Every structure is written in C-alpha cells, then in structure tokens.
C-alpha cells in the first residue's frame, strides 16, 4: 500500500522513541521480509486521497530491496510504473515526457510499523489465527493504542513474514487505507531489466526540478519545506480538489509522512474543509495570495512549526 501508506500516503499516528526489534518472532520475520522477501503478485489497494476514497489494482514484483509496481487499467494511476533498485526510485507516468527520479523509499509502511512496535507504552500487539489470503495461511496481528482503538491490522504468511493484507486506521478508528493480495507467486522469475532505471538519463527529473516545472506551468508558487526540517520531498503532482487544481507535495522523514497542499486563495473554509474530512491533524494558513494546508498524523504544533519554515524560491 504504497501511497497510503503510500499516501494515503499519510500517517495515522505520530510517534517517537527508540527503535527496537520486536519480541514476537512473527513480527521480526515481517520486518526482515521487507528487506529480503522475493515474490510477484497482484493486489487490490484502497486508500484515502484528500477527501476521496480510491481503489486500484497493482502488479507487484519484489526482489529483496528492489521492487516494481505496475498500475493496471481501471485504477486511478492506470499506466503508471514505479521502480526501485535499492538506492534510487523512478516513477514513469503515461503521457509525461519526464521521468520522476528520487532516493529509494523502501517499504515505508514497515518503518511506521517499527515505530509502533517500539512504543510499547502506548501500543499493544495481539496475534491470533487469520483466514487464508491468496490461498496461503495467515496469522492476524492487531495493534491498538492505550484506549483500545486499533491502528493497524496485518495478515501475515508465517513461513515468509510477507504481509498479505494490511489495514491502516486513523486516530478515531476510521479506515485510512488497506491492501490485499489476490494472488502471489513466492518463487518468481524476474527479467534482467525488471528493476533497471527507465529511459534516458536526460529524461529523469528530481522532485525539486519537477516542483519548479509544475509550479511554472500551472501558475503555483515554488513553495516547499526546506531540508533542515527533517523531511525530504518525495513526490509532486497537480490534481483536482474542491473543484480546483491543487499542487500536492508529499514529504517523508523518520517513518512519517507530511502532505502539503497549495490552493488558490479561497479563504480558510476551503482548506479547513479538507482537514476535517481527512480525519488527521492539520494546519492551514495563507501566504502571498495562496492558501496552504499541511496534513499529517503529527501534532498541530509541529505542523505550525513546519509552516513557519516554508520557503518560496
């Protein structure tokens, strides 16, 4: 669930604390599988993107730290391909001449899972029997906070540690996203070029170059969070929202995700409507005739600090 998770692409909780290996051997296997597992499969992903819930089908090819995701027809991202080779990441979008290039992201959902498991004072883990997924047996892992609200559910294939189904919940228990494999091959054969960098080097664009190009073409400010905030720009796109075209930037750092929206100046009511319906923490403000909105699982005070660091250049 890349985006959601991927983007959803947003984090349901904001955590701190030292990372440690979980005591349960099944959960240790899950974290290890994120680095070493090999498989090819088809999965259905449901996620929240702004105010919308979306469903898409993906083909996933994974070879240790390398992976390739192809989005099938009928999906919101149909035709898009994401490739990682363990160090770099590329996104090929249909109809676009440029190829987005950036640092490898890895399985950031596992980074968030590690944070949850490390915070044993706030979160408890329960492991029980799970139903078969894609024809394979599973164990169900449920992680809940101190109030008893479930924040994640995982269906894990015990021999491999591969997560065959995942559900991610918000602070009040509403589902933010999920994925489930419909079929999976645990002994795949990969082509020699499956995980190679696509296209010509001159066609590849880093996220900041893409930000400047999109801002110039679409009439947005080249506003962004600087690197000193601890968050790195991961992706940029322009999409419709509230009947207008919106510049959306996704930042990642320390297993957390922050989404920055830039909208035409429409007063606070528009951005705050997005924030309320998203069900996460948010901070909205105006600058240079534009409305901005930060959404994340982090406290609002931290989002306000990030907003104060916004630069336009």
- Span 18-53, pLDDT tens digits: 345 666 889 889 999 988 999 999 999 998 765 677
**Which of these ranges, 46-60, 70-84, 223-237, has the smallest mean pLDDT?**
46-60
Question: Which residues, at least 6 apart from 178, have a Cβ–Cβ distance to it below 8 Å?
Answer: 1, 45, 46, 47, 165, 166, 167, 168
The pLDDT of residue 248 is 92
CA distance 226 to 153: 34
- Considering the domain architecture, whether residues 181 and 212 belong to the same structural domain is answered as no
Pair of tokens at residue 290: 């534009």
Radius of gyration of the chain (CA): 19
The answer to whether residue 83 sits within a structural domain is yes
- Span 165-207, pLDDT tens digits: 999 887 777 888 899 999 999 999 999 899 999 999 888 888 8
CA distance 257 to 234: 10
Three-class SS state of 289: coil
- Cα–Cα distances in Å, from 285 out to 198, 244, 265, 271, 310? 39, 18, 10, 9, 11
Task: Note whether 86 and 213 are within 8 A (CB).
Answer: no
- Considering the domain architecture, whether residues 222 and 168 belong to the same structural domain is answered as no
The count of other CB atoms within 10 Å of the CB of residue 131 is 9
Pair of tokens at residue 2: 């890349």
- Tell me 227's DSSP state: G
CA distance 186 to 22: 25
How large is the average pLDDT for residues 232-257? 84
The answer to whether residue 13 sits within a structural domain is no
The pLDDT of residue 270 is 55
Task: Read off the CATH number of the domain in which 271 is found.
Answer: 3.30.200.100
Task: Read off the CATH number of the domain in which 134 is found.
Answer: 2.50.20.10
Backbone angles phi, psi at 55, to 5 degrees: -130, 135
Cα angle for residues 39, 43, 49 (degrees, 5° grid): 130
- Burial class (CB within 10 angstroms; exposed 0-12, middle 13-18, buried 19+) of 244: exposed
Segments forming the whole domain that contains residue 170: 25-185
Q: Higher pLDDT residue, 68 or 288?
A: 68
Pair of tokens at residue 194: 């499956």
- Span 129-144, pLDDT tens digits: 999 999 999 999 999 9
**Which of these ranges, 52-61, 216-225, 234-243, has the smallest mean pLDDT?**
234-243
Query: Which of 185, 216, 251 is at the close of a domain?
Result: 185
The answer to whether residue 9 sits within a structural domain is no
**Which of these ranges, 29-38, 55-64, 161-170, 276-285, has the smallest mean pLDDT?**
276-285
- Considering the domain architecture, whether residues 61 and 147 belong to the same structural domain is answered as yes
Whether the pLDDT of residue 84 is over 70: the answer is yes
- Cα–Cα distances in Å, from 176 out to 13, 75, 93, 120, 280? 11, 18, 25, 23, 10
- Considering the domain architecture, whether residues 174 and 262 belong to the same structural domain is answered as no
Assign 16 a pLDDT band (cuts: 50, 70, 90).
very low
Query: Which of 185, 217, 243 is at the close of a domain?
Result: 185
The pLDDT of residue 92 is 93
């Amino acid at each position: 669930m890349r985006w959601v998770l991927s983007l959803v692409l947003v984090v349901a909780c904001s955590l701190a604390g030292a990372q440690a290996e979980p005591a349960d051997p099944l959960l240790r296997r899950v974290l290890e599988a994120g680095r070493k597992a090999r498989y090819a499969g088809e999965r259905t992903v449901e996620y929240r993107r702004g105010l919308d819930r979306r469903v898409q089908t993906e083909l996933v090819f994974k070879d240790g730290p390398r992976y390739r995701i192809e989005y099938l027809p009928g999906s919101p991202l149909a035709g898009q391909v994401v490739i990682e080779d363990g160090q770099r990441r590329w996104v090929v979008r249909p109809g676009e001449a440029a190829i987005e290039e950036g640092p490898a992201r890895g399985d950031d959902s596992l980074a968030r899972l590690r944070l949850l498991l490390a915070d044993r004072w706030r979160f408890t883990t329960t492991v029980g029997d799970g139903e078969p997924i894609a024809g394979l047996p599973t164990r169900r892992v449920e992680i809940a906070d101190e109030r008893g609200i479930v924040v994640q559910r995982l269906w894990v294939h015990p021999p491999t540690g591969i997560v065959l189904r995942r559900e991610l919940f918000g602070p009040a228990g509403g589902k933010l996203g999920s994925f489930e494999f419909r079929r999976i091959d645990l002994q795949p054969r990969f082509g020699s070029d499956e995980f190679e960098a696509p296209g010509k080097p001159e066609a590849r664009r880093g996220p900041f170059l893409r930000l400047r190009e999109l801002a110039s073409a679409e009439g947005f400010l080249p506003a962004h969070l600087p690197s000193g905030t601890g968050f790195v720009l991961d992706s940029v796109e322009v999409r419709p929202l509230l009947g207008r075209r919106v510049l959306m930037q996704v930042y990642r750092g320390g297993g957390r995700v922050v989404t920055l929206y830039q909208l035409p100046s429409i007063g606070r009511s528009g951005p705050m409507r997005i924030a309320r319906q998203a069900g996460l923490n948010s901070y909205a403000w105006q600058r240079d005739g534009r409305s901005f909105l930060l959404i994340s699982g982090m406290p609002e005070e931290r989002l306000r600090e990030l907003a104060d660091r916004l630069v336009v250049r």
